[in-house]
Amino acid sequence: MEQDNIRYLLGNHAIAQAIIDSAVDVVAGYPGTPSSEIIEHLGLLKPECHVEWSVNEKVALEVAIGSSWSGGRSVATMKHVGLNVASDPLMTLAYTGVKGGLIIISADDPGCHSSQNEQDNRRYAQFALIPCLDPATPQEAYDMVSFAFEFSEKFETPILLRPTTRICHGKSDIHLKEPTATTHEIQFEKRPDQWVMLPSRARVRHKLLIEKQTEIAKALELSPWNKLDIIEGAQLGIIASGVAFAYTKEAIEKLGVKASLLKISTYPPHVGLIKQMLDSVKQVLIIEEMEPIVEETVRSISGINIEIHGKDIIPRNGELDLTIVEAAIAKIAGLDHDPYIPEQTSIELPIRPPVMCPGCPHRATYIAMKKSFGKDAVFPGDIGCYTLGVQLGTMDTCLCMGASITTASGIYHAGETKPICCSIGDSTFLHTGIPGLLNAVYNKADITVAILDNRTTAMTGHQPNPSMGQNVLGDTTYAVSLEEMAKACGVEFVKTTDPFDIKKTIEIFKQAKEHKGVSVVISKQECIITARRRGQRLGLFAVDTDKCTGCKTCIKIGCPAIEFKESGTKGKSYINSFCVGCGVCAQVCPFEAIKEVSD
């Protein structure tokens, strides 16, 4: 029987539940896979604490810091690359320390399932000199939250909780604990020596931070998250960290290998347990995803009489799994290991990459953009659903949040003479696009900035943003105008268009291209997913096969609702049941062969 205290939960929902159970005061974050469901879930549960989608991760962390300095328990959530944006406050926060417990949740993405890189943020903890917890299972992520708050408060340090994709988007039976935390007094106390990082005070705090490290390391050694199992007479020792521990445990059992096993889930790594392990075996294998952080610690304290393996056989890139871990252990243990893997099929399977949805307004914007600027123009891009514009040839770069306008400026200033039109979404523009736009005007770049305003933060699951007039709880709030924002940055050419009106949008892009200096085109049309959820139903379209010449102009727009079927010498286009009635194909057809059907 599913009992009240055992629930089948997504890792991120379990973390959200633990946050509520810890009587938190403020939670702030910016959406990013695989972290988004933590705040999303809190928004639905409507707890008593303050929850917000902040405009970016730096803002989110600073909001959490303000709350912590006032005595509030606080959380900042983000994806791994979000911590790059928040790294400025992070590095000095380590010096100042905290008052109310402060957890920074960085959801890492080994394997780049939904990210532009796979950086290992345990390095940030090392860099900033703050402790880090690396859960091996969703249950452990849940259990670590209350521990992290208490630890953070006891040592007045922020703490990094670093679940990976397999924890955040893993689901399991979560055993919930009785909430014990109670609310606490909120009062901002003036502590100039601690909260005001003038150089003279920063020098003092840095020294204190370094001194505190020994105490923190000792306390982590007493924590329940690390575990050593010495097997009598075993020559091989295996040290595994985070989610890799789960694969390692299974591999040891399946292979039947006699090995001592050390689990490391806190950083800095537990030196005492590592020493005990090294003293009892002749050979050590360190299994960790991404960077050799535990391995570096092991090598720094080991003697010469022990054989150490790690990144020489475990990949430093990509995600680990049981197959990789089993092969590595078998190799070190000298076992014959030839697991059964079914033969791959000999027939060619069509690939299925993600695509823009039928009726996606970005497709329409890109058709118009390409028509006005020509395919040889330079199209710097940004991060969101519209990055899929790479399939339409209108996405020439994608680096990090907000980098479209800035790299476009750099391309212009370097002397590139082709027209430059960059794309950025509404939420990304508000995240880190504004400084780039201000800079482009200030330094006289001659570029066009297309703001693809689909009225939501779509890619991460349709979170609200400041231009929508709605917050995470669904409450009404001030809706910032993108037009006025662009004008305030000094842009003289600011025009808004509905991309579903292709002809008008082409005309506006042409004017923007001719404009000397920075021009901004706001291409505004609601995301088709949210529009349909709201109940929007438009008239559907069909191909008049008598008029269709099989020219494939409509096929080239890459809509999943349009099919090309060979028939005799010439093929023709057909519209399938995925059509949602955006009408873009009808506008691009040179033969007027696509028409709206009445019912």
Residues making contact with other proteins (CB under 8 A): 1-2, 6-8, 10, 33-34, 37, 113-114, 136-137, 166, 169-173, 243, 246-247, 249-250, 321-323, 326, 339-345, 347-357, 385, 388, 459-461, 552, 555-556, 558, 560, 562-564, 566, 571, 576
**Residue with Cβ nearer other proteins (233 or 342):** 342
**Residue with Cβ nearer other proteins (282 or 552):** 552
Check the CA dihedral 137-141-147-151 and report its sign: positive
Helix 138-155 and helix 11-21, axial crossing angle in degrees, nearest 10: 40
**Residue with Cβ nearer other proteins (111 or 131):** 111
SS3 519: strand
**Min. distance of Cβ 385 from other proteins in angstroms?**
7
**Min. distance of Cβ 510 from other proteins in angstroms?**
28
SS3 296: helix
Tell me the C-alpha to C-alpha distance, in Å, between residue 387 and each of 346, 399, 526: 33, 11, 17
Tell me the C-alpha to C-alpha distance, in Å, between residue 53 and each of 26, 261, 283, 472: 11, 41, 48, 6
Select from 54, 34, 57 the least CA-distant residue to 43.
54
**Min. distance of Cβ 82 from other proteins in angstroms?**
14
Tell me the C-alpha to C-alpha distance, in Å, between residue 301 and each of 127, 227, 229, 457: 20, 19, 20, 47
Are 495 and 521 a contacting pair, CB within 8 Å? yes
Q: How far apart are the first and last CA of the chain?
A: 49
**Min. distance of Cβ 331 from other proteins in angstroms?**
16
Task: Please spell the DSSP secondary structure of 496-542, one letter per residue.
Answer: EE-TTSHHHHHHHHHHHHHSSS-EEEEEE---HHHHHHTT--PPPEE
**Min. distance of Cβ 564 from other proteins in angstroms?**
4
**Residue with Cβ nearer other proteins (79 or 99):** 79
**Residue with Cβ nearer other proteins (340 or 478):** 340
DSSP assigned state of 541: E
Which ranges of 281-414 does DSSP label H, i.e. alpha helix?
Answer: 293-301, 322-333, 361-373, 403-413
Element (H, E) at 271: helix 271-280
**Min. distance of Cβ 323 from other proteins in angstroms?**
5
**Residue with Cβ nearer other proteins (247 or 509):** 247
**Min. distance of Cβ 578 from other proteins in angstroms?**
9
Phi, psi of 76 (to 5 degrees): -120, 130
568 Cβ contact list (under 8 Å, min separation 6): none
Tell me the C-alpha to C-alpha distance, in Å, between residue 33 and each of 15, 437, 530: 15, 26, 19
**Residue with Cβ nearer other proteins (12 or 372):** 12
- Cα separation, 465 vs 429, whole angstroms: 10
- Cα separation, 193 vs 401, whole angstroms: 35
**Min. distance of Cβ 138 from other proteins in angstroms?**
8
**Residue 495 CA, distance from chain mean position:** 31
**Residue with Cβ nearer other proteins (564 or 591):** 564
**Residue with Cβ nearer other proteins (1 or 304):** 1
**Residue with Cβ nearer other proteins (11 or 71):** 11
DSSP assigned state of 463: B
SS3 285: strand
**Min. distance of Cβ 431 from other proteins in angstroms?**
17
**Min. distance of Cβ 556 from other proteins in angstroms?**
8
**Min. distance of Cβ 577 from other proteins in angstroms?**
10
Are 464 and 526 a contacting pair, CB within 8 Å? no
**Residue with Cβ nearer other proteins (333 or 458):** 458
